[in-house]
Structure 1
Amino acid sequence: MVVGAGIGGYVSAIKTAQLGLKTLIIEKQYYGGVCLNVGCIPTKSLLRTAKVFEDIVHKAANLGIDMKTKDEPSINWDKALERKDGVVNKLTSGVKALLTKNGVKQIIGEASALDKNTITVNGKKYHCDNLIIASGSVPNELPLPGFAEGRNSGFLIDSTKILSLPKIPKALTVIGGGVIGIEFGCLFAALGTKVTVIEGAPKILPMLDQDVTALMTKTLKEKYKIEIFTNAKVKEVKGKSVVFEIDGKEQTVKSDYCLESIGRKTVTKGFDGIGLELSERKSIIANDYGETNLDGVYAIGDVTSKIMLAHVASHAGIVTANRIALKANKPGAEDIKMDYSKIPSCIYSHPEIAMIGKTEQQLKAEGVEYKTFKFPFAAIGKALADDDTTGFVKIICEPKYKTLLGAHIIGNRATDMISEFTTLIECEGTITELARAIHPHPTMSEAIGEAAEALESGKSLNL
């Protein structure tokens, strides 16, 4: 039995069914979970609209495209939302069809566990030998003065509500300079919104390599005119204003809406009375197979709080399905487990950001010896032809055996390019093999080959 038909849940259900196990999945709201409905997919749909609009306004003339009229293009926000909803509906209906095709029984309703083998849904009891909890997460909320009133008035919104705003705001305040906050900041800034980001840490996107963060901060400020406040402590919401403090001095920013983007918290409702071991963050503790402290009970995805990314949940679903099938002696089951050191991360800002492994700052702090090289897209023919030369590929390797320690990309198509490094790590490849691999010309991926060649031979061919 699988609880939650999000990315992790539906993948694990399909895989367990394919491995010969009788499978039931329970979903209380919508197929595809947060990612397909109010997360990854709708956000990227709107980001695509923003990018095309930005290219027309700022790049068309440089590319030799003259507008027939003097009127600037405008955004049909209702049409953009309609397209976004169409993409979501196509994918979520596809999930339901895949579950049905693979023989997974489905129930819509909220699940609650009586014990580790008994679940109630819509007043009925269901028994299972194995239970996979994939109940996901919801946005965090700050318990500060005026915040409850701000939510009730519609001024204070989360990452779900911002996807359905009735119109493009003239001004938007973003509390939190993390991944979600920066993605939405880029989206609306590209559409003409005046965006202000308030971040409590010394810099935005603090988890990234410093070189990447520095370039992204510069781009946000100079290209998108986003005002960024760091080391800021949010104090309260007053009407349509956010009050915050920097170095003991109080400041106020007014806007049409304020996005509260301060991370996510796990959903364990219905499973908190069966003896599951929880962390301090109230997430379910699970090992690299998804196993919890209760025999036959597994947890995957956001509910474990390990790395809250859709592709992590999806892979965990495959791992856990195989684990259950292997214990049941089903043919075709494999002994695989999660390796959280091999997880790529992506940010769909403009420019895109992607990374895997350690940052240079982490390696310095750990006292690890390394070599690094950074190759700019400004020296790549495809980037010049695309009129999009912002960014670079940065590779960090171990100097003796030349194994990859970290890879960091900022630029056009970064989120697609990171998979080359993910595969290299999984195959236990080296920088030598990466440099020897022929990268097609002209492509953005040539920057990977160039950086690898510089680390391999000590000399760059094109710098």
Structure 2
Amino acid sequence: MADSYDLIVLGSGPGGYVAAIRAAQLGLKVGIVERENLGGICLNWGCIPTKALLRSAEIFHYMQHASAYGLAAEKISADLDAVVKRSRGVAKQLNQGVTHLMKKNKITVHMGEGKLIAKGKLAVSKDGKTEELSAKHIIIATGARARDLPAARADGKRIWTYRHAMTPPEMPTKLLVIGSGAIGIEFASFYNDMGAEVTVVEMMDRIVPVEDADVSAFLEKALTKQGIKIMTGAKVQEVRNGETDVQVKLQDKGGAVTDGVFSHVIVAIGIVPNVENIGLEDVGVEPDKRFHIKTDGLCRTNVDGIWAIGDVTGPPWLAHKASHEGVIAAEAIAQALGNKDVHPHEMDVRNIPGCTYCHPQIASVGLTEASAKEAGYKVKVGTFPFIGNGKAIALGEAEGFVKTVFDEATGELLGAHMIGAEVTELIQGYVVGKTLETTEAELMTTVFPHPTLSEMMHESVLSAYGRALHM
């Protein structure tokens, strides 16, 4: 007889395992299906291990510039194998943490390939054996994988995806990064700090194109200063993968074509949702034209009892967005099963922050200045530089700025955009403000501690209204 649950979650990434935990907290009988590692891509091959790599590169960078802090560091070197080993250890620790959370919350884990076979039924296959599970509700949280470039298909030797780049067989000497989104820029920053000669190619007219234009311009200058070659408005025409190198034809924004030889190439041009072979067509779940599963604000698909969260659905493709959707879906399911004490709310993507952990860091939430104007807002914009902040100067991190965008008519905070040291930690202040629907008046009268980097957030708000104190 098939195991029966209130909820089965297909996929245990940051969306899936959080959904399972929240559902269990609400008293539901929950099972979770995972084909590889608990914690999914984020904990094992994405968000967390990449930050461990970047932390090692950051410390190496500081050691190389010890004299700027009145210190001396001699004969310093980087051991790539040891750096990778530390990163994998961090991933293993977190994987074990998720395993503990499943046990703690009495969630049954089924390891294997999951496939919908009928409404409320899931088959799980492993090692030639198949078990059948049934549930009143099913959440699809299968995530996504790296998109291949037809001209440069990853082989793990010379041409890499992010996954290969996290466990490199050797240190690149001359690296080409195709794509300048968060993943591409983070690996470009990491390998540049580790000593590789790095070139970044981006088809759009600026790097990190989803960010505010001022942030993109500042980052390009900062990375160029660090020695990274940036090519925007550029195309990869041809890639020839050899035994010892990769030969690439690159077309620049002016149309000129040049030949380049690289030791390795990282392809970071986006993601593809994992919708194949999970039975969507068998139960009638509809994907959109880009093959992402379509959902409403509560994560329901077009099929009653089937839900979807995370990267398998629409943008933004972020772990924290997936986790939040997991909570929304779990609470909506509990409510559908009769729990009157939960009140799920729909996701507001305007309040989801984005973070890129290059050097300098980038963080943002809400509308850019350009998108706010395109949406019809008359805006007030404030900017405050790191060089005007005492803590930033004391840290030796005086490069960057904080930018805020307000609706002139109402004072509503429409967006915030930062580049500089630790901005990925600072951005949450503005995220809370946006969630609480704050205006410039509340932000102006908020007391920010001194000396902190957060004072720049206050000054940026004041700047939008001509009241900056330290500029």
TM-score (norm 2): 0.94
Greater mean deviation of Cα atoms: 245-254 or 169-178? 245-254
The answer to whether residue 264 in structure 2 is matched with residue 257 in structure 1 is: yes
Aligned equivalent of 1:342, options 323, 347, 351:
351
SS at match of 2:69: coil
Aligned equivalent of 2:62, options 55, 59, 71:
55
Partner of 2:70: 64
Corresponding letter in the other structure for 2:429: E
SS at match of 1:119: strand
Partner of 1:305: 314
Aligned equivalent of 1:325, options 323, 330, 334:
334
1:379-390 equivalences under 5 Å are 379-390=388-399
- 1:56-84 CA-partner distances (Å, limit 9, x unpaired): 102x11211023x4x3x100212111111
SS at match of 1:160: helix
8 Å Cα contact 1:118-1:126 kept in structure 2:
yes
Greater mean deviation of Cα atoms: 424-433 or 127-136? 424-433
Partner of 1:243: 249
8 Å Cα contact 2:382-2:462 kept in structure 1:
no
8 Å Cα contact 2:157-2:169 kept in structure 1:
no
Distance (whole Å) between structure 2 residues aligned to residue 267 and residue 34 of structure 1: 12
8 Å Cα contact 2:9-2:139 kept in structure 1:
yes
The answer to whether residue 325 in structure 2 is matched with residue 316 in structure 1 is: yes
The answer to whether residue 222 in structure 2 is matched with residue 219 in structure 1 is: yes
Aligned equivalent of 2:16, options 5, 9, 31:
9
Aligned equivalent of 1:89, options 89, 92, 105:
92
Question: Following TM superposition, by how much is the alpha carbon of 1:160 offset from its aligned partner in structure 2, in angstroms?
Answer: 0.5
Distance (whole Å) between structure 2 residues aligned to residue 105 and residue 190 of structure 1: 43
Partner of 2:4: none
The answer to whether residue 405 in structure 2 is matched with residue 423 in structure 1 is: no
8 Å Cα contact 1:157-1:259 kept in structure 2:
yes
1:174-323 equivalences under 5 Å are 174-222=177-225, 224-238=226-240, 239=242, 240-246=246-252, 247-269=254-276, 270-273=278-281, 274-323=283-332
The answer to whether residue 461 in structure 2 is matched with residue 461 in structure 1 is: no
The answer to whether residue 457 in structure 2 is matched with residue 448 in structure 1 is: yes
RMSD over aligned Cα atoms: 1.2
Question: Following TM superposition, by how much is the alpha carbon of 1:401 offset from its aligned partner in structure 2, in angstroms?
Answer: 2.3
Corresponding letter in the other structure for 2:232: T
Question: Following TM superposition, by how much is the alpha carbon of 1:249 offset from its aligned partner in structure 2, in angstroms?
Answer: 2.5
8 Å Cα contact 1:173-1:255 kept in structure 2:
yes
Corresponding letter in the other structure for 1:64: G
Corresponding letter in the other structure for 1:35: C
Partner of 2:403: 394
- 1:223-266 CA-partner distances (Å, limit 9, x unpaired): x2111111112122113122222343321221111001100000
Q: Which structure features the higher share of strand residues?
A: 2
SS at match of 2:411: coil
The answer to whether residue 131 in structure 2 is matched with residue 128 in structure 1 is: no
SS at match of 1:192: coil
Aligned equivalent of 2:33, options 13, 26, 35:
26
Question: Following TM superposition, by how much is the alpha carbon of 1:8 offset from its aligned partner in structure 2, in angstroms?
Answer: 0.2
Corresponding letter in the other structure for 1:188: Y
SS at match of 2:280: coil
SS at match of 1:243: strand
TM-score (norm 1): 0.96
Distance (whole Å) between structure 2 residues aligned to residue 292 and residue 244 of structure 1: 42
Distance (whole Å) between structure 2 residues aligned to residue 152 and residue 442 of structure 1: 49
Corresponding letter in the other structure for 2:324: H
Corresponding letter in the other structure for 1:201: M
Greater mean deviation of Cα atoms: 229-238 or 211-220? 229-238
SS at match of 1:62: helix
Question: Following TM superposition, by how much is the alpha carbon of 1:331 offset from its aligned partner in structure 2, in angstroms?
Answer: 5.2
Partner of 2:3: none
- 1:247-296 CA-partner distances (Å, limit 9, x unpaired): 43321221111001100000012133221111001111001100000001
8 Å Cα contact 2:378-2:409 kept in structure 1:
no
Distance (whole Å) between structure 2 residues aligned to residue 275 and residue 63 of structure 1: 62
Question: Following TM superposition, by how much is the alpha carbon of 1:332 offset from its aligned partner in structure 2, in angstroms?
Answer: 3.6
8 Å Cα contact 1:398-1:404 kept in structure 2:
yes
Greater mean deviation of Cα atoms: 163-172 or 124-133? 163-172
8 Å Cα contact 1:173-1:253 kept in structure 2:
no
SS at match of 2:162: coil
